[in-house]
Amino acid sequence: MSEINGTLNGMPITARAGQTVGAALVAAGITSWRSTAKTSRPRGLFCGIGVCFDCLVTADGVPNQRACAMPMRDGMVLETGMGERPDA
Ligand code: FES
């Protein structure tokens, strides 16, 4: 099985080909990568199917991407975000 590599805030992340960004982050032991705007509460995967928008991440400079619905690509540069989505 081939491996692909990327980074989260400069930290190396290794994923299996076909894995979503969210799956790769959780497999790396990272369970939150966004903070809510009002209360700075941690967010990561919740629904896992692209519905809740809790898993937003900046990918290759594009903010507000759903980590659970986006395949990991080799060389992908991920950045954590803060409050891109208003608190519900
Ligand atoms: S975890 Fe719900 S949209 Fe990604």
* Domains defined along the chain, listed by start: 3-79 (3.10.20.440)
From the CA of 44, give the closest atom in ligand 1. Answer: 1
Confidence check: pLDDT of 83 > 70:
no
Query: Are the CB atoms for 15 and 6 separated by under 8 Å?
Result: yes
From the CA of 46, give the closest atom in ligand 1. Answer: 1
Cα 79 to ligand 1 centre (Å) = 16
> Residue 2 has what pLDDT?
92
Beta-bridge mates of residue 43: 34
Residue position matching structure tokens 């809740």: 52
Q: Are strands 81-82 and 34-35 parallel, antiparallel or unpaired?
A: parallel
Cα 19 to ligand 1 centre (Å) = 15
Name all residues whose Cβ lies below 6 A of ligand 1. Answer: 45-48, 50-55, 66, 68
pLDDT in tens, 15-51: 999 999 999 999 999 999 999 888 889 999 999 999 9
54 CB-contact burial (10 Å; exposed 0-12 / middle 13-18 / buried 19+): buried
